[in-house]
Structure 1
Amino acid sequence: MNPGAERNDRTHGEHRYPSDVAFSPTVKTMQERLGSRELYARVERERGWGVALTPDIVAFVEAQTSVFLATANADGQPYIQHRGGPAGFLRVLDDRTIAFADFIGNQQYITLGNLTDNPKAHLFLMDYARRRRVKLWGRARVVDDPEQIAKLMPAGYKARADRAIVFTVHAWDLNCPQHIPQRFEAADVKSALGARDERIRELEAEVARLRERSVA
């Protein structure tokens, strides 16, 4: 694979394939050397990566209670920040835009500084219970509009946000579940155990009734 040829596939800074946002010419050369280039060339030809968010991906995003936001400063130094909240705190505004209220944390403002210098960003979402993960590449910007921030605040959630992050999606990929450990949210486990205990009580009551009938 000739990296120069890959560069010629790009016009005016645009990617020929959505996956080119991650598969740079150097990455493709590495894939060629290590034996996976044919697989990913087929993915490219079949447009295997998404651009517009599908209804399934929208539902996945808005169901999450946790997200990792990756940025890099002007020198290329990467940084990953975790953001969490109740399901729905990640809001899909349209098929190319995700936004969320940026709740006040430790006030280091590394992400805000990075986005000032370099708007390129990445969202990494993991659903451990269902062993699914979605990766999204794009650009992010900080919004200070109080009205928009208020619209993005989850109802009844006790947190404060002075700004919001708006993420424009350039490409997304849904990974295979290999090597993802299966874990469950504490609230889901509590609900399942509660349902189990209620069923046990029902069965115990039914056994007691049957015993009473047999004695009679």
Structure 2
Amino acid sequence: MTTPATAQRAIDIAFTPAIKAVQIRKGSRAAYERMEMGDRVDERLAAFIAERDSFYLGSASADGQPYIQHRGGPRGFLKIIDEHTLGFTDLRGNRQYVSTGNFSENPKAYIFLMDYAHRRRIKIWGRIRVVEDDPALIARLLPEGSTARTEAAMLFEITAWDANCPQHIPQLLPAADVAAALAERDARIAVLESELRDLKRPH
């Protein structure tokens, strides 16, 4: 895959002329003009991706009809191919093929990564190529131990990415982490209750 064009800044890919016009009208253009965006995978983005077990994938049809899809799997199922490319398997689901159909006529795509526990998010703009005839690539992207049926591999070429501020993100904790914390608390309570009973016994 080709690397993103260096003549255009990542921030200009994310902020179209129409968006810039609104920023000027609303008074935020000066601040965003100084903003830096990434156009490749660095250590910060790689670490964030490695911890995610889901993301939202945005696509649009040729006439601009948007579509958002949730993708989930074990941590790290969204894989880093190289500094400009992410990859994941397209697992068989409800067989509507809305995203796949959109990408066949409009490869522009968007990945939205959320970390609710720590109130962080990362947005990634790019283009997707759907690969259906490369079993080795599909096997490479399939999560370890998975027996799920795959439709294709999806390769996401990064054009720009940005980390948002945490404002308005609700703090949500994974159910497994909450269950583990409660089990640890209950075990500690049981120990303390046992110690208390021992102290109350006549000596």
Alignment equivalent of 1:49, drawn from 24, 29, 37 = 37
CA drift of 1:138 comes to 0.7
CA drift of 1:181 comes to 0.9
Aligned to 1:129: 117
Question: What 5-or-longer segments of structure 2 have no aligned partner?
Answer: none
| CA contact 2:10–2:37 (8 Å) conserved in 1 | yes
| CA contact 1:89–1:100 (8 Å) conserved in 2 | yes
CA drift of 1:66 comes to 1.3
Residue identity opposite 2:176 in structure 1? A
Sequence identity (%):
51
CA distance in 2, matches of 1:128, 1:41: 28
CA distance in 2, matches of 1:161, 1:191: 32
Alignment equivalent of 2:129, drawn from 141, 150, 167 = 141
Aligned to 1:78: 66
> Per the alignment, in what secondary structure is the counterpart of residue 196 of structure 1?
helix
CA drift of 1:162 comes to 2.2
> Per the alignment, in what secondary structure is the counterpart of residue 74 of structure 2?
coil
CA distance in 2, matches of 1:56, 1:199: 36
Aligned to 2:29: 37
Alpha-carbon RMSD? 1.6
Aligned to 1:205: 194
> Per the alignment, in what secondary structure is the counterpart of residue 143 of structure 2?
coil
CA distance in 2, matches of 1:177, 1:15: 31
Alignment equivalent of 1:103, drawn from 84, 91, 101 = 91
Which deviations, in whole Å up to 9, do the C-alpha atoms of 1:104-139 show, x marking residues without a partner?
111111111111111111101111111111000011
Which deviations, in whole Å up to 9, do the C-alpha atoms of 1:46-72 show, x marking residues without a partner?
xx1111222221121121111111111
Aligned to 1:160: 149
- State the TM-score, normalizing by the size of structure 2: 0.90
> Per the alignment, in what secondary structure is the counterpart of residue 129 of structure 1?
coil
Provide the aligned length of Structure 1 versus Structure 2.
198
Residue identity opposite 1:171 in structure 2? A
| CA contact 1:15–1:21 (8 Å) conserved in 2 | no
Alignment equivalent of 1:17, drawn from 9, 13, 29 = 9
Aligned to 2:160: 171
For the pair 1:59 / 2:51, whether they are aligned, the reply is no
- Relative distance call for 1:15 and 1:206 in structure 2 (3 A) is farther
| CA contact 2:14–2:160 (8 Å) conserved in 1 | no
CA distance in 1, matches of 2:193, 2:149: 47
Question: What 5-or-longer segments of structure 1 have no aligned partner?
Answer: 1-12
> Per the alignment, in what secondary structure is the counterpart of residue 202 of structure 1?
helix
- State the TM-score, normalizing by the size of structure 1: 0.85
> Per the alignment, in what secondary structure is the counterpart of residue 198 of structure 1?
helix
Aligned to 2:79: 91
Aligned to 1:188: 177
Residue identity opposite 2:135 in structure 1? P
Query: If you compute each CA radius of gyration, which structure gives the higher value, 1 or 2?
Result: 1
CA drift of 1:98 comes to 1.1
CA distance in 1, matches of 2:151, 2:16: 36
